[in-house]
Amino acid sequence: MRYFITGTAGFIGFHLARRLLEDGHEVLGFDGMTPYYSLRLKEARHAGLAQFPTFRPVIGMLEDKALLEEAVSSFKPDVLIHLAAQAGVRYSLENPKAYLDSNLVGSWNILEIARAHQVGHLMLASTSSVYGSNPDVPFREIDKADEPLTFYAATKKSMELMAHSYAHLHKMPITAFRFFTVYGPWGRPDMALFKFVKAMIEDREIEIYGEGKMSRDFTYIDDLVNSIIDLSKVFPGEENRVPEIDTLSHQGPFRVVNIGGGQPAGLLDFVETIEKVMGKPAKRKMLPMQKGDVPRTFASPDLLVALTGRKPEIGLDVGVKAFVDWYLDHRNEID
């Protein structure tokens, strides 16, 4: 099959593209190579994908509708997976316009182009951040998600709503999936695991926000990739509606699905796992909750399991070790 993936120089896009290429599919990767974090890391990811003859990269911004349309038109994808976005909760406090341009204008361009070229299945990456500080756990897809705490979360929820309207108006099969704290090798340098391991190697303090009282539903990258590929084969429709818990719209072929294991871990448990893997204690600097942070995330995986037969299962001990091993092998190439 032909997969058009936005964000292939990013953490998740790289892993997804590599898995699909290994499985014999064709992948066109569209990425803006923005300097939000290390371009060396992004270039290394794309270099890894370039080893596959069935990979084709296009460098460009989502806001460049003409270039995006040309790429989709020439490739004629069966599935379009939109992962590219301006990421990061905290950065959205500093530069909200980057989120407006990428996550709203860019995502609208994707919707328009997928409509024009009648893409078989459009898949959109959303986030657990849309749940805000919802007091009811686990977070279910049918729960209200109308109180975003950051502009980042607001842009992702807005993308979901725009997509629903396109599914209704143009009968486009669209699946939006909400990520829960994804981690693993080739991860983003602004994420906690990357920052903590790097600081501990350099014998620096790690900054633990919320006095360590927060919890997250950590998702290992391989589990996430499995779930995305599984969902790509499940076209939203009445034939697979799941009673009581489904978000399948009555107005069009649109569905929202959590990708999370439903096993949140405390932030201090996360730190202790890193310490155990690295064989040394961290120098901890306890800090108050940052603006825009949420106290916990906790996915209900019930809909994902009903649709695909499985959920994320890889534990922190395995996932953290895989990241540390990767980082120790690659730090000189990417830092």
Residues marked active site are found at 152
CA distances in angstroms from 333 to 7, 38, 45, 328, listed in the order given: 21, 11, 11, 10
CA distances in angstroms from 119 to 102, 134, 276, listed in the order given: 21, 34, 46
Count of H-run helices and E-run strands, the chain: 12, 13
The type of residue at 11 is F
Cα dihedral sign, 132-31-99-62: negative
Q: Which residue has the tokens 């898949």?
A: 123
Q: Which residues contact 237 (CB under 8 A, 6 or more apart)?
A: 173, 248, 253
Give the integer Cα–Cα distance in Å for 75 and 2.
8
Question: Are 71 and 28 a contacting pair, CB within 8 Å?
Answer: yes
Give the integer Cα–Cα distance in Å for 305 and 125.
18
Give the integer Cα–Cα distance in Å for 75 and 27.
9
Q: Give alpha helix (H) positions in 50-90.
A: 65-75
